Chain A
Amino acid sequence: MSNTEMVEEKPAKVLLGEIVAKHYQEAWDAKNRGEKVGWCASNFPQEILETMDIKVVYPENQAAAISAKGGGQRMCETAENAGYSNDICAYARISLAYMDVKDAPELNMPQPDFVACCNNICNCMIKWYENIAKELDIPLILIDVPYNDEYEAGDDRVEYLKGQFDHAIKQLEDITGKKWDDKRFEKVMEISQRTGKAWLEATGYAKYTPSPFSGFDVFNHMAVAVCARGKEESAIAFEKLTKEFEENVKTGKSTFKGEEKYRIIFEGIACWPHLRHTFKQLKDGGVNVCGTVYADAFGYIYNNTYELMQAYCGTPNAISYERSLDMRLKLVEENNIDGMLVHINRSCKQWSGIMYEMEREFRERTGLPTATFDGDQADPRNFSDAQYDTRVQGLIEVMEANKAAKMKGEH
């Protein structure tokens, strides 16, 4: 039996799980071989590292996994006991705690020989990575992406980024002894493109009513989009996922169990410590998540290096308010959305701070109901079940009344 046939037989979900496991295993193997291994920010241009065959692991992915498995509070408290403020991002606190205690039964990963940071998602990232570099006395590679007040990053920004790419490559060559290869870079870009397109094509299937998948599934699948965008097996797995969704549309199936009565945008990062509760309340009310900006953020689309650099300037937290709003409005237009649930995430000031105005204008422009709930991406202490339930129930009741009014022809 050929490898290709093996791949075909496994569901995409299994393939994706295997890719994440393999990603961590490869980092361990490299570390054990004496290679230099790094900790890397989720939206750092992975194409650079993939081209040079440098193994990195992603603290954000680890922190999400630790908190989803119930270890978030323990790790946050460890960081707070070491002197870090409770107001700092919980991913950062968990990561800084892990740097210190070097053990988390929920998910272990190799200690870093360097850190690779990109601040296109937030500036807390810089201080977090600087602290690790200082504490462990290891090099810091920083790619600085200024906030884009213009709609699209122009020549000046791309030029600024190009200079930093060149410098980062030089730093990595010095640290690891590995060499840059332009031909290999072309190949990596090609694979990354294939992965990005397949990922977005898969999540794009939410445009069907009913959706062929449960929106919370993408929170699990996206780990591959974070950790392994440049791997061919990731492209293959996402293409498989797309096929499965296509099949579901044809046969009228869905991974969302139960009747899909309402379709919402889930705004913000997942509330990992309370993923089960946040999902269950929606599911029990017949609500499916049919749009997220968060998961789609890891689908980088470009056709050349210029566009690649533009793409890395276009992460959700780096773009202007107007462009951010357009992303939400596009989801409404394409995915037949009934309402929006906004996670006011205490960890992520950058994402949540803009949401009060975003929510107001979103309501004004779409006429759709919205609800906000307090939570956190990784610290379980910033969430209340009862408050969440009331807000979700309220949102469902408004969506229900809207549908009833529509049927009566009142709207």
Chain B
Amino acid sequence: MSDIFTLGIDIGSTSSKCVMLKNGKEIVGEGVVNLGAGTKGADQVIEQVIEQSGVKFEDIDVIVSTGYGRNSYEGAKKTMSELSCHAKGGTFIFGKVGTIIDIGGQDIKVLKLNPNGQLTNFLMNDKCAAGTGRFLEVMSGVLDVKLEELGELDKKSTEKTPISSTCTVFAESEVISCMAKKIPIPNIIRGIHASVATRVAGLAKRGGLSQPVAMTGGVTKNSGIVRALSEELDCEIKISPDSQMAGAIGAALYAYEEHQKN
């Protein structure tokens, strides 16, 4: 029996992630391109994964797309919401988890799973960018620090500068005034991370936290956020090098299920 290759493509607001799965079990290619919905990001990242896996495009059995730009990729057989994909991908990565938290570019997702790994409920942020990936992007711009450096700088902090979690623009003004007061950048960054964590934890607590708790999405690369959220929720948060790929993994798994239906 020949191998089944499925592709999951997660087109977010700021980046495109792609995973090639063999027989619904083994990741044989994965990639990230920092271009989101409405760009060439999806095509570029698929090209990367095809090259990496050695599987020809025409040999891919099913493609499922997810993320903010899921409807813009015409090659997909079906679309799934990033909620279901992060739940499925998270379970694939971590095994049994009760809660998955994903901080995306434009939203925060708290996913509740039952012992079978099925998504039973979810909560998302409302009408505000505070606590989202966009909030972090704005802050890194103001501080003139690369997004990927925030975690390391946080480690150098000596104390936490209080930063508002009410509104991105309020927080931005506060950060600017902190910089004018010559407060060390690492301390401001720690305050920014705490601000995000407060916001995300509020949502997670509202849904009722089931253990174990895992985190998916690109923000998991920021150790400062993971630490701050773990403190705020007063529990351990599982992360993985594959966390950023959870949505794409989930989509590839759904693609495999789709193939098995036929």
- Which A residues lie at the B interface, using CB under 8 A? 344, 346, 356, 360, 363-364, 367, 369-372, 374, 382, 386-387, 390-391, 393-394, 397-398, 401-402, 405, 410
Across the interface, name the chain A residue whose C-beta is closest to B208.
A360
Distance (whole angstroms) from the CB of A279 to the closest CB of chain B: 18
Please determine whether B120 and A369 come into contact, CB atoms closer than 8 angstroms: yes
B81 touches A387 (CB 8 A): no
Known contacts: A370-B121, A387-B107, A405-B118. The answer to whether A394 contacts B83 by CB under 8 A is yes
Beta-carbon contact of A372 and B126 below 8 Å: yes
CA A371 to CA B208, docked complex, whole Å: 15
Q: Does B80 contact A (CB under 8 A)?
A: yes
Question: Contact partner of A346 among B120, B121, B127, CB < 8 A?
Answer: B127
Alpha-carbon gap, A331 to B229, bound state (A):
38
With contact pairs A390-B83, A393-B81, A394-B83 given, residues A344 and B126 touching in the complex (Cβ less than 8 Å): yes
Given contact pairs A390-B81, A394-B122, a sample of 11 additional A-B residue pairs in the complex whose CB atoms are under 8 Å apart? A360-B207, A369-B122, A382-B127, A393-B79, A394-B83, A397-B119, A398-B120, A398-B121, A402-B118, A405-B118, A410-B118
* A374 to B68 alpha-carbon distance, docked (Å): 17
A369 touches B121 (CB 8 A): yes
Q: A374 contacts which chain B residues (CB < 8 A)?
A: 126-127
Q: Are B84 and A394 in contact (CB under 8 A)?
A: yes
**Which of the residues B83, B116, B124, B126 comes within 8 Å of A397, measured between beta carbons?**
B83
Residue in chain B with minimal CB distance to A384: B127
Instruction: Give bound CA distance, A367 to B84, whole Å.
Output: 18
A401 → chain B closest CB, angstroms = 5
Contact of B82 with A by CB under 8 A:
yes
Name A367's closest neighbour in chain B (CB-CB).
B120
Q: Which A residues lie within 8 Å of B118 (CB)?
A: 401-402, 405, 410
Interface positions, chain B 149-168, Cβ under 8 Å from A, are: none
**B206 at interface (Cβ–Cβ under 8 A)?**
yes
| CB atoms of A398 and B122 under 8 A apart | yes
A243 to chain B, nearest CB (A): 39
- For A394, the chain B residues whose CB sits under 8 A away are 81, 83-84, 122
Main secondary structure of the interface of A (DSSP, over half): helix
> Nearest-CB distance from A273 to chain B (Å)?
15
Cβ contacts under 8 Å, A370 to chain B = 121
**What are 6 of the A-B contact pairs (CB < 8 Å)?**
A346-B127, A360-B208, A364-B208, A386-B68, A397-B83, A401-B119
Give bound CA distance, A195 to B154, whole Å. Answer: 65
Q: How many A-B residue pairs have CB under 8 A?
A: 59
With both chains docked as a complex, state the minimum distance between the C-beta of A379 and any C-beta of chain B, in angstroms: 12
Interchain CA distance A394-B107 in the complex, whole Å: 14
B interface residues (Cβ-Cβ under 8 A, vs A): 68, 79-84, 107, 116, 118-124, 126-127, 206-208
- Residues in B neighbouring A360, C-beta threshold 8 A: 206-208
Q: How far is the CB of A348 from chain B (nearest CB, A)?
A: 14
A342 to B4, CA, bound (A): 40
Residues from chain A with a CB closer than 8 A to the CB of B123 are 372
Residues of B within 8 A of A386 (CB): 68
Please, how many angstroms separate the alpha-carbon atoms of A321 and B64 in the complex?
42
Closest Cβ–Cβ distance, residue A229 to chain B (whole Å)? 34
Q: Compute how far the CA of A174 lies from the CA of B74 in the bound complex, rounded to whole angstroms.
A: 69
Q: Which residues of B contact A405 (CB under 8 A)?
A: 116, 118
Q: How far is the CA of A330 from the CA of B204 in the complex (A)?
A: 28
- CB proximity of B12 to chain A, nearest CB, Å: 12
Q: Among B80, B119, B122, which residue has the most Cβ atoms of chain A within 10 A?
A: B122
Q: What CA separation (Å) do A210 and B118 show in the bound complex?
A: 27
B68 to chain A, nearest CB (A): 6
Closest to B82 in A: A390
Q: How far is the CB of A134 from chain B (nearest CB, A)?
A: 32
Contact between B119 and A363 (Cβ–Cβ < 8 Å)? no
A372 and B84 within 8 A (CB): no
State how many angstroms separate the Cβ of A389 from the closest Cβ of chain B: 8
8 cross-chain pairs, A with B, having the tightest CB-CB distances, nearest first:
A394-B83, A393-B81, A394-B81, A397-B84, A374-B127, A369-B121, A401-B118, A374-B126
Q: Which residues of A contact B79 (CB under 8 A)?
A: 393
In the complex, residue of chain A having the shortest beta-carbon distance to the beta carbon of B80: A397
Are A398 and B126 in contact, CB atoms less than 8 angstroms apart?
A: no
Shortest Cβ distance from B128 into A: residue: A374
Instruction: Tell me which residues across on chain B come within 8 A of A402, comparing CB atoms.
Output: 118, 120
Q: Which residues of B contact A346 (CB under 8 A)?
A: 127
List the A residue with the shortest CB-CB distance to B37: A386
CA of A357 to CA of B158 in the docked complex: distance in angstroms?
38
In the complex, chain B residues whose CB is within 8 Å of the CB of A391: 124
Closest chain-B Cβ to A188's Cβ sits at a distance in Å of: 43
CB-CB nearest in chain B for A346: B127
Bound: A360/B81 CA distance, A:
22
Q: Is the CB of B127 within 8 A of A356?
A: no
Question: Closest CB-CB distance, B11 to chain A, in whole Å?
Answer: 12
Give chain A residues whose Cβ lies under 8 Å from the Cβ of B124: 371-372, 390-391
Minimum CB–CB distance for A354 against chain B, Å = 14
